[in-house]
A and B are shown apart, each in its own frame.
Chain A
């Protein structure tokens, strides 16, 4: 596609439920990143994929968070047993292999609200 596509754009869920967030990167971008941004806070790194593998998942805040990527394309971020502190905007970004040269392109994010 023309840009990074994320769905849903908004998600309201009850505490304790599981949620899945989807990211469809720019076609041909091998690197994919998940960040989250809480109100008034900076972007917090969650996980990075190169192809289907995740060489850096150091930012996942707990074992309730997991992510996968299939076919070197679409990625899903799953949050199990959601908590109120999980409320944030979850941003996906993709880049050509050398992100240090080209930078990231972000999707418009999924705004997650846990009530």
Chain B
């Protein structure tokens, strides 16, 4: 079983739409969670951390549900520039991060 699992998509949404991604993690001892964004043929870049109480950064909202072991990312008012692959990450008690395979988003004009 993979440490982190995501729906690969693709998600194709019109500009201005709201879109949500979920991912699940298998290790209940995972301590930290992140969302990374990866553009085509580029390196992953940190989008936001995910805190237990949930957190928001502009149009982006991240939520953590420890009981069900999933995290989510909500993007409101989608922009063309949001088109990318979104990677879910769980960190265990060590320093290794476990990355999901990513969810592809295309925002359509």
Inter-chain contact total with CB atoms closer than 8 Å:
52
* Closest chain A CB from B99 CB (angstroms): 4
- Write the B13-52 contact mask toward A (1 if CB under 8 angstroms, else 0): 0000000000000000001101010000011111001000
Expressed in whole angstroms, the Cα–Cα distance for A35 and B44 within the complex equals 11
Expressed in whole angstroms, the Cα–Cα distance for A95 and B45 within the complex equals 13
Q: Which of B53-61, B62-70, B89-97 contacts A (4 or more CB under 8 A)?
A: B89-97
Expressed in whole angstroms, the Cα–Cα distance for A56 and B31 within the complex equals 18
What are 28 contact pairs spanning A and B, CB under 8 A? A31-B95, A33-B95, A33-B96, A35-B99, A42-B87, A42-B99, A42-B100, A42-B101, A43-B87, A43-B99, A45-B97, A45-B98, A48-B94, A48-B95, A56-B95, A59-B96, A91-B43, A99-B91, A100-B32, A100-B91, A101-B32, A103-B34, A103-B49, A103-B89, A104-B46, A104-B97, A107-B43, A109-B43
